[in-house]
Structure 1
């Protein structure tokens, strides 16, 4: 069942004017109110669905709602009344990006009409973990189609399935991509929090310009099984929320080892509590590297960055200026391009082979290219598929050029890049502006990113990258990035939390009236 019918259902079940107000409610507040009987999980689902029905016709953040969410919420209410369960996310509605499978009767489309029938009946392991932690999967969020990998000239936040996602701070402006709907939905309080995915910037960019905390964890902390792929080297799901604590709680529910994803072999050993280190004094005595080379692209953003640096100092951090990246990082982008295009072709074929051919006739990247040509009016009207076509020419995972590029990209971005900056400057994290404010949606000139150099090395290396709101430019949010070494996820969250508590920089959006 697709969104219009579900919105009508939500409006039918909407509570009266005195209903519980879900706007800006944190996970802790929701859990406390559930435990105290001030609200039920069923009422939360109804309230969120009513809010989506009211505001999403403008924002296009949600592709589909889960028709089983209300029944699942009622089951959670029964369990709570019986004191049968005490789960960290018990009865709390979460939205997930529409490239992540869930066992609910909802397709996983990656925004493409080619996957319109892709109802798999299986939970991605990260979704199974969220359910085991008590979460209710409320539905699926819009995204840049195919996670923004179809074309080098795309429009962030657009998909043939979901239309154009829009920024809740100004609907004329971009939500960034590819986790565009997750960013807009979490900012607009369409759910308690949302799950996104990132290959390079797809969690941190939409989080920053939608006024959210977004966390791209170390690749391998969260399983990628049953997530529509781009690259096994760089893909990772991650939390998008309105506070660092909410992001840490959601991460704890998602993270863990999955035998089907070898990259996650170490995940369980790190534990699942990412909140224990969240203290306001976490920055005291910390040495933080300031990536000046990733700033200086926008005067108003730079002014907020200077204020953020002053906040870090006041919180007890020692700041070390880093004016240029290590020379070894030269050429990372070119190598990343070959890695992503080669892995896209191979990994997509592996994913498509796991789907039902009666529901998903396309079995290869070449099939998807042909599908788009056959449905050009719906799929190719705004931009093409040049990246798909380039990727389809690659020679496979055994190609010596790919093998060399993959090894060199990882080394240059990680040990010779981020790790070198950390070691040479005796710092434990790197900071920079995530990027500038949201740009106007423009079908002619396409995306107009302002800045964005904070996270590229972390994406290629597979290292953690956290963005936290640091203020607004003319009412448009911008974020501060914290980047660390592999598996130092908890420390990045702790630093981000201490900054957040000192800065109090997030401003909620004022949604357009309907």
Structure 2
């Protein structure tokens, strides 16, 4: 796809200015939200310059990475407006701007935007559809002054269409590539969101997760991903999979940046009833107050090795051992070699009942989503299946089927089978993760990589991935911290404390 608005000749001057005039900001690349805001404040950078820089990087790298599906044609206008608002605020005493004011954001292509951008879930079936309003999280981003730069690529339909589709692939976006090792798995489904921040196409992105779709791409692309408690952020206006498990969260390069974004998007939304109950978890003053370098001190952390270390190499095993020592050195009390009851069953979506529940929930929720669109080529899941068959040249090939779609279409609402599956998931959660947390009075569980995602998914629990290293081939891997509902503040303290003691993340290498 061809992108407009190339970087103008100011770039070299701008980067030299950023390098020489402020020790905190060596360049736009790798810059944090706080560093960008400082550059704004000191008149070293404008939102327009930042947007133009990111667009130029997308033009340069996206043909390789396939991380961005489309750029917002109004992004420059939004940037100019942010610069104008910032200039006015400087002349008005007491005028306050949000922490994301003037900051560009990439949004996963399942998250609705009421603008010139498509919301297509990576599928040609939804190309040209028109949403009724901005998704809840997008509305909050706009209220905070953020610039919606464009839509990030993904695994089509949030990886809930085909059993054979590769992670990070969609017909509209192509195959997303891991910027560290291009042949490595970028994971999914929020692959483009993670690839984009890792490759410095953006500082801030938003992903969605039903089971692993924020945590796994963050793990694979050396990013920080926060999977919030279900309902802490609104799912309204987002192409759904399961209202019981879906959640929306940030993917950034640092814990602090991800927390800035969480503060901006968390909270009540009249269009998502789940936010009413979950909003009670949001602490007064927000989550930034928990960004403490000594955040590990006094925390009780359980270490679960089985089965998450069983399939990794010696290099990653040794790294995990080192990280457990760091948790202790940071002041945490570590309970090692804990076991989650029935973890083998939980990790198998068929055996646990998760697959049965998700299939029925998807059909019900996606049909409701399609029907409420102002304009759409498809109005039901059956329409989407028929579209894929009719336009098989663009939507299907010998490997890309729609087995999940067909299985979901074969369901008939939430019946006795689905209710039994959901009840089993609740019991597995109570007997497993919850019991372990309560028995040891833990603040968090820690695992290598995103293997714990199924545990967190079926219970609606929060989790944070932090970069943890790179294997012998240069492929990133992460460490995951998970907790009970509403414990984001504890997870943030732990994740930030770990990050500050290790500072493992490094820029991508683009190894072929």
TM normalised by structure 1 equals 0.92
C-alpha displacement of 1:425: 2.3
Aligned to 1:507: 506
1:218 to 2:220 alignment: no
> For the aligned residues, what is the CA RMSD?
1.7
Match of 2:299 in 1: 286
- Equivalent residue number for residue 160 of structure 1: 171
- Which residue in 2 is equivalent to 1:53? 59
Cα offset, 1:173, TM superposition: 2.0
Q: Aligned residue for 1:330?
A: 345
Query: Of the candidates 427, 432, 435, which is equivalent to residue 420 of structure 1?
Result: 435
TM-aligned CA deviation for residue 12 of structure 1: 6.2
**Alignment partner for residue 23 of structure 1, among 22, 29, 33?**
29
**How far apart, CA to CA, are the structure 1 residues paired with 2:503 and 2:11?**
33
Of residues 199, 204, 210 in structure 2, which corresponds to 1:188? Answer: 199
SS class of match (1:174): coil
Deviation at 1:198, TM superposition (A): 0.5
Distance (whole Å) between structure 1 residues aligned to residue 336 and residue 323 of structure 2: 14
- Equivalence for 1:443: none
Q: Unmatched 5+ residue regions in structure 1?
A: 435-451
1:20-419 residue pairs with structure 2 within 5 A? Answer: 20=15, 21-83=27-89, 84-120=95-131, 122-269=133-280, 270-271=282-283, 273-293=286-306, 294-298=308-312, 299-327=314-342, 330=345, 333-334=349-350, 335-356=353-374, 359-381=375-397, 382-397=399-414, 399-413=415-429, 415-419=430-434
Q: Name the CA shift for 1:12/1:188 in 2 (closer, same or farther; >3 Å).
A: closer
TM-superposed CA distance for 1:489, in Å, is 1.1
3-state DSSP of counterpart to 2:86: helix
Kept in 2: contact 1:201–1:456 (CA 8 A): yes
- Aligned twin of 1:496: 495
In the TM superposition, residue 296 of structure 1 has moved relative to its aligned partner by: 2.8
Confirm or deny: 8 A CA contact 1:304 1:471 kept in the other structure: yes
For the Cα contact (< 8 Å) 2:69–2:152, is it kept in 1?
yes
Superposed, which structure 2 residues align to 1:456-471 within 5 Å?
456-471=454-469
343 and 161 in structure 1: CA distance in 2 versus 1, 3 angstrom threshold: same
Deviation at 1:235, TM superposition (A): 0.7
Between the aligned partners of 1:30 and 1:316, the Cα distance in structure 2 is 32
- Distance in 2, Cα, partners of 1:11 & 1:301: 40
Paired residues of 1:55 and 1:512 also in contact (CA < 8 A): no
How far did residue 327 of structure 1 move?
3.8
- Structure-1 separation of matches of 2:320 and 2:343: 26
Deviation for aligned residue 1:432: 0.6
Q: Distance in 2 between matches of 1:66 and 1:510?
A: 28
Shift of 1:453: 2.3
Q: Distance in 1 between matches of 2:303 and 2:490?
A: 17
1:241 offset after TM fit, Å?
0.5
Superposed displacement of residue 423, structure 1: 1.5
Q: In 2, are the aligned partners of 1:19 and 1:47 still within 8 Å (CA)?
A: no
- How many residue pairs align between the two structures? 487
Matched residue, 1:444: none
Alpha-carbon distance in 1 for matches of 2:396, 2:10: 41
SS at match of 1:469: strand
Instruction: Please state how far the C-alpha of 1:323 moved relative to its aligned partner.
Output: 4.1
Q: Given the alignment of the two structures, is residue 11 of structure 1 paired with residue 6 of structure 2, yes or no?
A: yes
1:259-309 deviation line (CA, Å, top 9, x unaligned): 221111134431462110111111112111000212232122211111111
Query: Shift of residue 329 of structure 1?
Result: 7.5
Residues 363, 408 of structure 2: 8 Å contact kept: yes
Correspondence 1:425-504 to 2 at 5 A: 425-434=440-449, 452-474=450-472, 475-504=474-503
Aligned counterparts of 2:317 and 2:511: Cα–Cα separation in 1: 29
Inter-partner Cα distance in structure 1 for 2:172 and 2:140: 27
Distance 1:327 1:176, change over 3 A: closer
Q: Which moved more, 1:250-259 or 1:316-325?
A: 316-325
Q: Which runs of 5+ in 2 are unaligned?
A: 16-26, 90-94
Q: What is the CA–CA distance in structure 1 between the aligned matches of 2:196 and 2:377, rounded to whole Å?
A: 31
Q: 1:56 to 1:135 in 2, by over 3 A?
A: same
TM-score with structure 2 length normalisation?
A: 0.92
Partner of 2:22: none
CA distance in 1, matches of 2:225, 2:438: 26
Question: Distance between the aligned counterparts of 2:258 and 2:442, measured in 1?
Answer: 24
CA contact (8 A) 1:198 1:235 kept: yes
CA offset at residue 411 of structure 1? 3.3
Q: Distance in 2 between matches of 1:263 and 1:166?
A: 34
